[in-house]
Structure 1
Amino acid sequence: MFRQYPDVIDVHTLQKMLGISRHHAYRLITSGRIKGRKVGKSYKIPKVYVIDFLLQNDEADTLAQKGNS
């Protein structure tokens, strides 16, 4: 899953992976639903946490349904 992406991503890449807005991406990170760490002025997110979010979260189901409509 997501083999074309590096092991550690930024917010912009998270947006592309999930098809979400910048605002939504930051909400997911700051709320802790997707784990990330602020390094300098930007967030770094291990790809494994994005996959974990997709596999275990009801919100991910909602995102997938929006993408299919």
Structure 2
Amino acid sequence: MNSNDINSYPFVLTATDISKILRISKPSAYELMERSDFPLIRLGRCKRVLRDEFFLWLSKKW
């Protein structure tokens, strides 16, 4: 996967995907996903984020 191409990531990201993208631990990714400004999608107990929403959110943070 080419890390420079946003479209190479899945359309819906998991905590594992986020941890790989940001090079943080999986628990840290879950902690990040709990922020009130994070574009989280809850599906029962599952936590997901749309790829484009995540990268948009990330670009506004940095």
Deviates more, 1:32-41 or 1:15-24: 32-41
Runs of 4+ in 1 over 3 A off after TM superposition: none
What is residue 21 of structure 2 aligned with on the other side?
Answer: 17
Structure 2 gaps, min length 5? none
52, 55, 59: which one aligns with 1:51: 55
**What RMSD, in angstroms, separates the aligned Cα atoms of the two structures?**
1.6
22, 39, 44: which one aligns with 1:40: 44
What is the total number of aligned residue pairs between the two structures? 58
- The DSSP-based 3-state class of the residue aligned with 2:49 is strand
Conservation of the 8 A alpha-carbon contact between 1:7 and 1:48: yes
**Higher helix fraction (1 or 2):** 1
Structure 1 gaps, min length 5? 59-69
Identity %: 21
Partners of 1:30 and 1:49 lie apart in 2 by 15
TM-score by length of 1: 0.67
- 1:5 matched to 2:12? The reply is no
